Amino acid sequence: MANILHFMPDLEHDEMAYVQTLVRDMPDSEAQQFANIYRARRKEPQLVLITAIIGFFGVAGIHRFLLGQIGMGLLYFFTGGICLIGTVIDIINHKRLAFEYNVKVAQQVLGMMQGFGRP
């Protein structure tokens, strides 16, 4: 039984709890491999916050492009962050945006690893 705390102690509580449910039944070597791939692909909440603040003062929507939300990024870009209101809301909710993105990444990594394990 793998413990994600050993491999990724820097995760925030909600993210750590979610990832722990994914790696719970993995052997340690497989959990380490998951952690290495996941660490490289996940986004830090601070990065989302910084890019949202840059969008507030400069080019709106950068944080949405970073999170793979191309449509929302274009909408924010052409509407000035929906008149800055959307950008302010995203600055407030940056941790939720990062968590939602990281959940998707964790599921993709898990699916990829399960795909490798099949004959």
Which pLDDT does position 1 carry in this prediction? 62
Which pLDDT does position 113 carry in this prediction? 87
CB-CB contact of 31 with 2 (8 Å): yes
Query: Burial, 5: exposed, middle or buried (Cβ in 10 Å; 0-12, 13-18, 19+)?
Result: exposed
Query: Burial, 15: exposed, middle or buried (Cβ in 10 Å; 0-12, 13-18, 19+)?
Result: buried
Which pLDDT does position 25 carry in this prediction? 87
The structure tokens listed for 34 are: 């998951």
Which pLDDT does position 118 carry in this prediction? 46
Question: pTM for the whole thing?
Answer: 0.89
Query: Within 13 Å and on the Cβ side, how many CA atoms surround 10?
Result: 8
Q: Who's near 92: CB < 8 A, 6+ residues apart?
A: none
Q: What is the pLDDT along the chain (119 residues), one digit of tens a residue?
A: 678 778 888 888 999 999 999 988 888 889 899 999 999 999 999 999 999 999 999 999 999 999 999 999 999 999 998 999 999 999 999 999 999 999 999 999 999 988 865 44
Which pLDDT does position 117 carry in this prediction? 59
Give residue 113's Cα distance to chain centre: 18
Q: Who's near 19: CB < 8 A, 6+ residues apart?
A: 4, 8, 11, 38, 106
Query: How far is Cα 75 from Cα 30, in angstroms, rounded to an integer?
Result: 40
Which pLDDT does position 39 carry in this prediction? 93
